[in-house]
Chains A and B, each alone.
Chain A
Amino acid sequence: MNSVFFLVLRRMRAPIIVLIVFYAIAVLGLTLVPGVNADGTPAPAMSFFHAFYFISYTATTIGFGEIPVAFSNAQRLWTTACIYMTVISWSYSILTLLALLQDKAFQHTLVASGFSRRVARLHAPFFLVCGCGETGSLICRALDILGYDFVILDKDPQRVEELDLEDFKTNDPTLAADAGAAANLLMAGLRHRQCKGVLAVTNDEECNLAIAINTRLLNPDIPVLARARSPGVMASMASFGTHHIVNAYERFAEYLALAVSSPERFRLIEILTGLPGTALPQVHRPPHGRWIICGYGLFGRSIARYLTLPGITLTVVDPESDGPANGRTVRGIGTEVHVLEAAGIREAHGIVAGSPNDINNLSIAMMAKKLNPHIFVVARQNQGANDVLFDTFRADFSMVHTRIVAQECISVITTPLLSRFLAAIRQADERESQALVQRLEEVCKGHVPEVWSVTLDQHNALAAHKALLNKRPLSAGHLLRNGARRETSLPAIILMIERNGEVFLLPDADFMLMADDTVLLAGLHLVRSSLLLTLHNANVLHYILTGEDKGGGWLWQRISARRH
């Protein structure tokens, strides 16, 4: 039995006992008080049966009058006392029950037990998202588009209530509770058979660390992704074996450096790791040369470290700390003209407005544009709420850390193969990257494509697996044929095929597949379901391979076989 039931029973003890006692006294009294006959002679008292019947309807204030015969005055006196007694005891019971229902602790137990029941009933693979602020909701929205289930834990009850208003396709369980506590994580399905991963993306670093540690200890088999900012927390997460630590500052600095040194490859990574369904990002071409970094906190430090490339000189503007050894430092925030001029704004090629204050960053960026209209502006946006301001300003490159964390989490947990692909194309030169970017742009028509992998085994691709085991030739090109008209092909690209740990990058259409290969694809969402049909439905696969339509099920095949 669940705890809610026990809580109710426990709280209702006193009122129920009062009810029983008052009923007993009332019934007992009625069996003792003498009655009167119609002719005025004294009559014996009521029996227990009549007394109980009379009290039952009197106590519930139904009131039928005096039954079975008119009462004596002594009986009326006692009945008056009974009415007040029983009304008090019923009111006490009802008030206790109402108070219990309004009790915060009771409500929490009620919500929590409902939540854990729903989690236990989940049958599809799901992710456990801890913290549902800006990052968390971006992740949830993307997971929703990709068709995954998720369970959300967030500390803020108001935020959880707002989540109910989000228009998710599936009705996913959410609970307002501290995600750092082991009990809450377990209730949210940390040890659930279908739990495929934990995302620790709360705003609180210590909490993220606690989630990572809990996951490593309580269920070491599932991956945990944790968000961190400071090097200390990153180090302790790493020492606990957290599978993936997402540091938005480091990642953005790395991307910026990549965009400076090899813009085409950066563009390719940007397209493949974007949030599916959003508009394709703009092309960024940050220049080499003199760069100014405003704000030398954790973010500025990461940028300075990654931007230490040949051909780049750095000037740091910060009110307190000193810049790196290889650059100049100017004291100030960067919103003042004389500070920017001292930092050499007129000769600079790029500026990073990277303070933790959004308004300051916008002010720096606008001032810089005014002083030097050709400068490349990188703006850091701290809060999603300031979207409108930053969209209006249109920096050349903006950094929204919630978006970066969300992108990285999604690409890592939904397609583990993608990171291998990205590592593999590090050797690719700019020309190859550009060619692939062009193909992707043609395929996905202005939106970020979905990237997914499918393993050609019995579980994920029944028909294809069977065909491959029967030595029927199935090539990479066949996968992308349209199941309705095989002459046309689906708008998708096969990025990579993995076979026993070996990878084949960008296979051409003649590449022959084997059973248990894993294929990594990029394309629009509708391609995914179309491909699923090809891989699972033997008739569609047969049509694609041979061009003849075999017709529907077993019965139809029997009929058509007899006709030939």
Chain B
Amino acid sequence: MNLEKVIFAFFIVFAATLNFGFFLGDIDRPELHNIYELFAAIVINMIATVLKFGDRTQIGAVLLSTSLVADLQLIAAAVIWAVAVHVNGAGMTPDVTASVVSLSGGALLANIISVTMLVVETVMMRR
């Protein structure tokens, strides 16, 4: 058992599940999407990204890029939330909520790709 791989798998799956939890629910109802869950998803995603730093294998490079995509989408979602609530004072209207949640949906897709690749790599590993 490789501890590094265990930790990485933990963070990748954790990021995906948190992301999924935030995404779940009607897209335009702000009360169904907890901001703390978005925050946790961002943090865990960033840690998962950093864990792939300096991995020269092909699959490591692709995992790094999918993680980066998820990071970008989630950060974009957080920025939209901050702009709506604090900058222009619009608050969490249904359309703002929809765009925040749909961005996190994109991140979820990237995370699902990561998890799939992780599973594929594990299956292909023979010992």
Interface of A toward B, CB cutoff 8 Å: 6-13, 16-17, 20-21, 24, 27-28, 31, 47-50
Contacts and interface: CB of A to CB of B under 8 A. Distances in A.
Contacts of A21: 43, 47
Contacts of A48: 35, 39, 78, 81-82
A100 to B, nearest CB: 12
Interface string B52-96: 011110000000000000000000001001100110000000000
Determine chain A's interface SS by DSSP, over half rule.
Answer: helix
A47 B47 CA distance: 23
B82 A49 contact: yes
B117 interface: no
Contact of A12 (B35, B43, B53): B53
B39 A28 contact: yes
A50 B36 CA distance: 14
Interface residues of B, number: 17
A13 B86 contact: no
Contacts of B36: 28, 31
> By CB atoms of chain B within 10 A, which of A9, A10, A27 has the most?
A9
Contacts of B82: 48-49
The CB with the most chain A CB atoms within 10 A, among B46, B50, B78, B82, is that of: B50
Contacts of B54: 6-11, 13
A47 B51 contact: no
Given A13-B51, A20-B50, A6 B56 contact: yes
B50 A13 contact: yes
Contacts of B35: 48
A20 to B, nearest CB: 5
27 contacts: A6-B56, A9-B53, A9-B54, A10-B54, A11-B54, A13-B51, A13-B53, A13-B54, A17-B47, A17-B50, A20-B43, A20-B47, A20-B50, A21-B43, A24-B39, A24-B43, A27-B39, A28-B36, A28-B39, A31-B39, A47-B86, A48-B35, A48-B39, A48-B78, A49-B85, A49-B86, A50-B86
Contacts of B39: 24, 27-28, 31, 48
A7 B81 CA distance: 36
B113 to A, nearest CB: 22
A16 B49 CA distance: 10
Contacts of A24: 39, 43
Contacts of A13: 50-51, 53-54
The 10 closest A-B pairs by CB, nearest first: A10-B54, A9-B53, A9-B54, A24-B43, A49-B82, A16-B50, A49-B86, A6-B54, A20-B46, A13-B53
Interface-centre pick from A8, A12, A20, A21 (highest chain B CB count, 10 A): A20
Interface string B28-47: 00000001100100010011
Contacts of B53: 9-10, 12-13, 16
A220 to B, nearest CB: 32
Most A Cβ at <10 Å: residue of B78, B81, B86: B86
Contacts of B47: 17, 20-21
Contact of B85 (A16, A17, A27, A47): A47
B57 to A, nearest CB: 11
Contact of A17 (B51, B55, B56, B78): B51
A69 to B, nearest CB: 14
A24 B55 CA distance: 25
Nearest to B42: A24
A76 B43 CA distance: 24
Most A Cβ at <10 Å: residue of B35, B54, B82 = B54
A10 B43 CA distance: 19
Nearest to A68: B86
A326 B53 CA distance: 75
B94 to A, nearest CB: 20
Contacts of A20: 43, 46-47, 50
Interface string B84-111: 0110000000000000000000000000
A175 B63 CA distance: 36
B38 to A, nearest CB: 8
Contacts of A31: 36, 39
Contacts of B51: 13, 17
A50 B35 CA distance: 14
Contacts of B50: 13, 16-17, 20
A10 B54 CA distance: 4
A198 to B, nearest CB: 31
Contacts of B46: 20
Contacts of A16: 50, 53
A50 B55 CA distance: 35
A27 B39 CA distance: 9
Nearest to B38: A48
A13 to B, nearest CB: 5
Nearest to A27: B39
B90 to A, nearest CB: 14
A48 B41 CA distance: 14
A50 B81 CA distance: 12
B52 to A, nearest CB: 9
